Chains A and B, each alone.
Chain A
Amino acid sequence: EPEVTQTPSHQVTQMGQEVILRCVPISNHLYFYWYRQILGQKVEFLVSFYNNEISEKSEIFDDQFSVERPDGSNFTLKIRSTKLEDSAMYFCASSGGRGSYNSPLHFGNGTRLTVT
């Protein structure tokens, strides 16, 4: 079964540095998402992406964050000038093959970001 893959599985960075989290969504999916989860707590929505642009973003997703689909397969989340409170698990998800409606999200296994 096709799956969403995320790299790296764990990223350690110093406060103030920039990080890029990478995701390869399921190939025929059209909708892409980033979520984060702090210390096994609530899953928080960050941003959704469709047709090469952001379709919705949360209050968390401020100017520090950006997303990009640089080619036909990758979907990246960039965090500029990381802060300690950015430490979390970041999950990529995709959904919505052509002709689908209310199709479920398929999640990657996440990238654990640790900011020191």
Chain B
Amino acid sequence: GNSVTQMEGPVTLSEEAFLTINCTYTATGYPSLFWYVQYPGEGLQLLLKATKADDKGSNKGFEATYRKETTSFHLEKGSVQVSDSAVYFCALSDGQNFVFGPGTRLSVLP
């Protein structure tokens, strides 16, 4: 079946540091890939998405590129802020069924 694997957290960075959160997936066919963010006490919000190989999703300074050859969708940001502290979930969809990774907690210190 389909699955998503993320790097273990928590990740703790200083403000303005470079962020990478690794995500790899296993799926049949050609899934769409997503990153969701969950701020404390809130629901999951779509951060960015990519629907085909080599697509780059971007939003709020975050980027992720759909790499079919390595089955990866790593999340990056060049300079994190304290307000980026949250849990980040990588997810895939094969049509209408979504599979989420376990989440990576990011803490950004001032």
Chain A residues within 8 Å of B, Cβ to Cβ: 31, 33, 35, 40-43, 45, 48, 50, 55-56, 91, 93, 95-96, 101-102, 104-110
Contact = CB atoms under 8 A, between A and B. Distances in A.
Contacts of B98: 33, 45, 105
B3 interface: no
The range of chain B's interface size is: 20 to 34
Nearest to B46: A104
A105 B97 contact: no
A107 B43 contact: yes
Majority-rule SS of A interface residues: strand
**Interface hub of B36, B51, B100 (most chain A Cβ within 10 A):** B100
Contacts of A93: 44
B95 A107 contact: no
15 contacts: A33-B98, A42-B103, A45-B98, A48-B96, A93-B44, A102-B31, A102-B32, A102-B51, A102-B95, A105-B34, A105-B98, A106-B46, A107-B45, A109-B42, A110-B42
Contacts of A56: 97
Contacts of B31: 102
Nearest to B94: A102
Most buried by A among B95, B98, B102: B98
